[in-house]
Amino acid sequence: MDTTDAPQLIEHVNHSVNFTPNDTKWIPGSARFVAMGIYPKATGALTIFGLNQGELKTHAVLEKTHGIKCGTFGASALEDRHLATGDYGGVMSVCGAPEIVTGGRDGCIRVWDVRVSEPVVTLAPKEQDTARDCWTVCFGNSYNDVERCVVGGYDNGDIKMFDLRTNTLRWETNCQNGVVNVQFDRKDIEMNKLLVTTLESKFRVYDLRTFHPEQGFACMTEKAHKSTIWQGRFLPQNRDLFMTGGGNGGFNLYK
């Protein structure tokens, strides 16, 4: 591959931490980000960092009862910047977010409104005895006040898309390897692209505007990192660019 004309990635700053980071999120409208993970003693780590004149400063350090697996600002208003986290104890912690989606070991996908104690939508497998672990979920297709769908990825390679307007299964497929991350290129437009990363070094990009009645959505499969691809993220400023993060410590940028 000729990389002479490829985008160049230049390290701006680095910082060592004393925990295993599982997720990082920029705090909206600021030069700060939050890193979430697990300490060696299995407690949760949540640290806020800020950029200051080319250096990374630590603004806050919190320790939780259980290791933190993921977090999001996606369900919070921009001015509120409330963080929702999910931990290894099965606990969801939300401060101010109006709506959030979760997946669990029971195979259920649940949509929550934090103003009530019970989920507003529960998407459960037909046979609970054969339910597979739901490892990852995301919202998408939210281009108006009515339409919205949820995609879930499972440990056996299943990918399922649910229509929340009709509360039905819209599409499903199997990619043969456990699905660890799913993401729409943008959740607030008509569904366009879906990035799926899995175990065994593979990721898939689905074209959600090209559907075959028998074969499903068109997709492209690629192998990378020589390890599990734990994360995949689209660049907000250009949805044709996305990056994957592998278990080998590497990052790949694709267009």
Domains, the chain, ranges and CATH?
A: 18-81 (no CATH), 126-159+171-255 (2.130.10.10)
pLDDT tens for 58-116 read 999 999 999 998 888 876 667 777 788 888 776 655 544 467 888 888 889 988 876 77
Contact 186, 167 (CB under 8 A): no
Tens of pLDDT, residue by residue over 139-177, are: 889 888 788 899 999 999 999 999 988 888 999 999 999
pLDDT band at 192 (very low <50, low <70, confident <90, very high): very high
113 by DSSP, 3-state: which?
Answer: coil
The pairs formed by 8-17 with CB atoms below 8 angstroms and a separation of 24 or more are: 9/251, 9/253, 12/54, 13/51, 13/54, 13/55, 13/56, 14/56, 15/49, 15/56, 17/45, 17/47
Q: Which of 183, 201, 202 is nearest to 192 (CA)?
A: 183
Cα dihedral: 82, 88, 92, 96 (round 10):
-10
Separation CA 56–CA 48 (nearest Å): 10
* DSSP sequence for 44-108: EEEEEEEEETTEEEEEEEEEESS-EEEEE-TTS-TTT---EEEETTS-EEESS-S-EEEE-TTS-
Residue bearing tokens 């593979």: 202
Q: What is the predicted pLDDT for the residue at 77?
A: 66
- Per-residue burial over 104-137, b = 16 or more CB atoms within 10 Å of its CB, e = otherwise: beebbbbbbebeeeebeeebebeeeeebbebbbb
At 114 the three-state DSSP class reads: coil
For 168, phi then psi, to 5°, come to: -130, 160
Task: Name residue 161's beta-bridge partners.
Answer: 151, 171
For residue 10, the model assigns a pLDDT of 80
Mean pLDDT across the stretch 130-146? 88
Which residues lie across from 86 on neighbouring strands?
70, 92
